[in-house]
Structures are given as C-alpha cells and as structure tokens.
Amino acid sequence: MNGQKPPEGRRTDAEAEELSCEESLALMYEFLDGELPAERNETVRRHLQICRRCYPHFDFERIFLDYLHEAGSAPQANPDLERRIRSLIAEESA
C-alpha cells in the first residue's frame, strides 16, 4: 500500500539508494511515526537534508500530528457518572 512498492525498476539496494521526492513523501507518515526500519529511516533523513521541496511537507505534518495529540486532552465527565460508579462499587462490595 502506501510507500510499500517502489516504481518499477527502482531501488534494489536500500542502503546505497537515494530517494526521489515521490518516494520520500510516500514514506512520510511512517517516518514521522517512527515506524521505518533504521536504514530506511536514514535514507529518508538524508533526503530531507538536501531536499527543500520535501522538508516543509514533513514539517507541516509533524506540527499537525503534535496538534492532534495535544487536542485529544480529556473533557470533563458528567459528575453523575462518578456518583453512579461509586454507588455500583459500594453495592458490589457490600
């Protein structure tokens, strides 16, 4: 699926190979999520050091993912819920 298959005829040696922008973008989320194997991760990192086109995409997505993570903070539960749970537990322990 995304990023799993390189275009025909490319990439036979993961270590030596340079990524195209298309390939680096295909690996973007796996890279940002820390899900790439070390060598692959390094190849993307090297690409980002030299590619001014890809870098802002990665930067943007990183900001977005941090935002998502922080925004997940908890709303308040209804106080009735806590009361209900307390009394159920009290019932069970009686």
Partner 1 sequence: MGIAVVARGNGRQRTIEDRRKEFEAEALPHLDALFGLALRLTGGDEPRSEDLVQDAMLKAWRSWDRFESGTNCRAWLMTILRNGFINLYRREMSRPVKVEFEEIAEGHGSGSLYEADPEGRVFDRLVNDKVLRAIEELPDEFRIPVVLADVEGMRYQEVAETMGIPVGTVKSRLFRGRKRLQESLHRFAVEQGYLP
d(CA 28, CA 30): 6
- Name the minimum Å distance from CB 91 to partner 1: 10
| Closer of 45 and 84 to partner 1 (Cβ) | 84
C-alpha separations of 15 from 11, 38, 44, 62, 72 in Å:
9, 10, 11, 25, 38
Residues that bind partner 1 (CB under 8 A): 1-4, 22, 25-26, 28-30, 33, 35, 56-57, 59-61, 63-65, 67-78, 81-82, 84-86, 88-90, 92-94
| Closer of 4 and 12 to partner 1 (Cβ) | 4
| Closer of 28 and 48 to partner 1 (Cβ) | 28
Q: Which of 41, 38, 57, 44 is nearest to 18 (CA)?
A: 44
